[in-house]
Structure 1
Amino acid sequence: MDWLYAIVYGIVEGITEFLPISSTGHLILTGNLMGVPWTKDVKDAFEVVIQGGAILSVLVYYWRDFLKVRHIGTDQTQRTLWLGVLVACIPAVVLGVLFGDAIKAYLFRPSVVAWALIVGGVLIWLIESRKVTPRVDAIEKIGVRRSFLIGALQCLALLWPGFSRSASSILGGMVLGLDRATATKFSFYLGVPTLGGAALLNLIQERELIFGEIGLVNVLLGAGVSFVTAYLAIGWLLKFVSTNTFKGFAVYRVIVGALILALIAAGVMTDGNLA
């Protein structure tokens, strides 16, 4: 059944990674409801590795934009954009190195994830209810300072598992003056070094565990499915935000968070440490 688990995990990861609904929360729910027999270490490693498929979808979707980096030596706009992306990654890297283990030890529990979903949903609703005219309508106009602040706000997802990296970076961008589409696109860009680096590092460190327990074929299957579904999700989300707000996601998050809490209360899901 490992191949089936790999496919389902890949679908869930691909759909939820870039939507502001928390891939962590959905993978927890998926693993518990399916009764996946893998050990916690194997599941953790597999989930991080298949993020690589989702990240690859961003590179493919925006391949023309990413090729412009070759002009970084002569194009000030490209230098500012990519310096901003790199600077935005610094807070998460520093926080992860200093407090990553402690966060996993004390906060990585289903109930914590559930409340992160619910609180995040309320914040999305409140932010979308503001009557504010965006000042930034293109990622090239974000600037290094604003990029760093978005990166700092992105850390909310690391400090509070289940809040969602996409939600925190998109909402952070909107609060700082980006329009909805620009904040969404920058969140995609920011995920490349943030999640791509984590996936590569995890693959190197846990390669024996991953390939030994799950197998190369199933790893490639999960990553491949994640790539396809994430690619489709990116296209759908960009079209969606051009004419809609994120309020629908806010309602969805509250429902999923409440579902997790209900499953814990019913004894279907344990509230033990997930790390």
Structure 2
Amino acid sequence: MSFLEALILGIVEGITEFLPISSTAHLVLASTLLGIADDPFAKSFEIIIQLGAILSVVVLYWRKLLDVELLKKTIVAFIPTGILGLTVYKIVKGYLLGNVYVVLGALLVGGLVLIAFERFRPSDEREVDFGEITYKRALLIGLFQSIAMIPGVSRSAATIVGGSAIGVSKRTIVEFSFILAIPTMAAATGLELLKGYKDLLGHFDVLAVGFVVSFVTALLAIKSFLGYIKRHSFAAFGWYRIVLAVAYFLVFLR
């Protein structure tokens, strides 16, 4: 992988990580278009640079991270993903991550779910209030997030739709999904470093480029996304997912 390719993937990751369109899907599709080999390093790279984007949440939300009650609820929400992640790590990395057909299918289905979600979701203009998230709701949100271990599902979409379905307000679940990403991606990166560190040897300079670029890009993307959802629904993201999946299949896989 070249520095230019790492730069491009870092930008893609930073823009898409917090949008309900699946950063993993975009990284897989972008890597395929760039002709990057689907080798162990490329798969590890795609996982680890997501932590760069997640660190932008630490910078933007550090004050809220001092709230002990919120931190405890975040840990509870992380538990399902943590347990399942350890259980199915080899299956996801070995058979699902990098599989274009799995990614396109998840993009398509996820797009339909987002459109249906917006069609039937009642209007909700409540301000952010993390008190809405009880420990029971936190655990349920974590279960929804675990679905995103399937590449292309989108971690943010799974948590936003799931949280809204159990009664959490739109803005609250969006910001909680940001915070929940911190332990989730920190654990994913730690597991990747532990089990796949040999694949990273000799590539730390390229990895650093993707990591830093995704961090800087994500800082801008989060602010833009929060501004967008104050005035718009998630339906546009659903249509985008469907168009991307269909167009990619017709142009590159037929």
Is TM-score (shorter-chain normalized) higher than 0.5? yes
- In the TM superposition, residue 207 of structure 1 has moved relative to its aligned partner by 3.2
Select which of 138, 162, 165 maps to 2:152. Answer: 162
Counterpart of 1:211 in structure 2 is 201
Q: Distance in 1 between matches of 2:95 and 2:192?
A: 21
Counterpart of 1:8 in structure 2 is 8
RMSD between aligned alpha carbons?
1.9
Q: Distance in 2 between matches of 1:88 and 1:242?
A: 25
- In the TM superposition, residue 137 of structure 1 has moved relative to its aligned partner by 4.3
- In the TM superposition, residue 203 of structure 1 has moved relative to its aligned partner by 2.8
Counterpart of 2:215 in structure 1 is 227
Q: Distance in 1 between matches of 2:195 and 2:106?
A: 29
Structure 2 residue runs without a partner (length 5+): none
Counterpart of 2:111 in structure 1 is 121
- In the TM superposition, residue 133 of structure 1 has moved relative to its aligned partner by 5.2
Deviates more, 1:88-97 or 1:163-172: 88-97
- In the TM superposition, residue 93 of structure 1 has moved relative to its aligned partner by 1.5
Counterpart of 2:231 in structure 1 is 243
Q: 1:138 and 1:56, CA in 2 relative to 1: closer, same or farther beyond 3 A?
A: same
SS in 2 for 1:163: coil
Deviates more, 1:96-105 or 1:111-120: 96-105
The aligned amino acid for 1:182 is T
Per-residue CA distance 1:237-271 (angstroms, 9 max, x = gap): 111111110011011000111123224533xxxxx
Are 2:74 and 2:138, in contact at CA under 8 Å, matched by a contact in 1? yes
The aligned amino acid for 1:24 is T
- In the TM superposition, residue 104 of structure 1 has moved relative to its aligned partner by 4.3
The aligned amino acid for 2:59 is V
Structure 1 residue runs without a partner (length 5+): 73-78, 267-275
Counterpart of 2:71 in structure 1 is 82
Counterpart of 1:99 in structure 2 is 88
Q: 1:40 and 1:235, CA in 2 relative to 1: closer, same or farther beyond 3 A?
A: same
Are 2:43 and 2:93, in contact at CA under 8 Å, matched by a contact in 1? no
Are 1:153 and 1:169, in contact at CA under 8 Å, matched by a contact in 2? yes
Q: Distance in 1 between matches of 2:209 and 2:93?
A: 27
SS in 2 for 1:155: helix
TM-score (norm 2): 0.92
The aligned amino acid for 1:25 is A
Structure index of larger Rg: 1
- In the TM superposition, residue 230 of structure 1 has moved relative to its aligned partner by 0.8
Counterpart of 1:138 in structure 2 is 129
The aligned amino acid for 1:253 is R
Counterpart of 2:47 in structure 1 is 48
TM-score (norm 1): 0.85
Are 2:82 and 2:187, in contact at CA under 8 Å, matched by a contact in 1? no
Deviates more, 1:137-146 or 1:119-128: 137-146
Are 1:137 and 1:178, in contact at CA under 8 Å, matched by a contact in 2? no
- In the TM superposition, residue 154 of structure 1 has moved relative to its aligned partner by 1.1
Counterpart of 1:271 in structure 2 is none
SS in 1 for 2:120: coil
Q: Distance in 2 between matches of 1:265 and 1:63?
A: 44
Q: Distance in 2 between matches of 1:167 and 1:33?
A: 24
Per-residue CA distance 1:50-101 (angstroms, 9 max, x = gap): 11211110100112222x24xx3xxxxxx2x222111111111121222332
Per-residue CA distance 1:89-141 (angstroms, 9 max, x = gap): 11111212223323444544211111111111111111111252558841232
In the TM superposition, structure 1's runs of 4+ consecutive aligned residues that sit over 6 Å from their partners are none
Are 1:55 and 1:227, in contact at CA under 8 Å, matched by a contact in 2? yes
Counterpart of 2:140 in structure 1 is 149
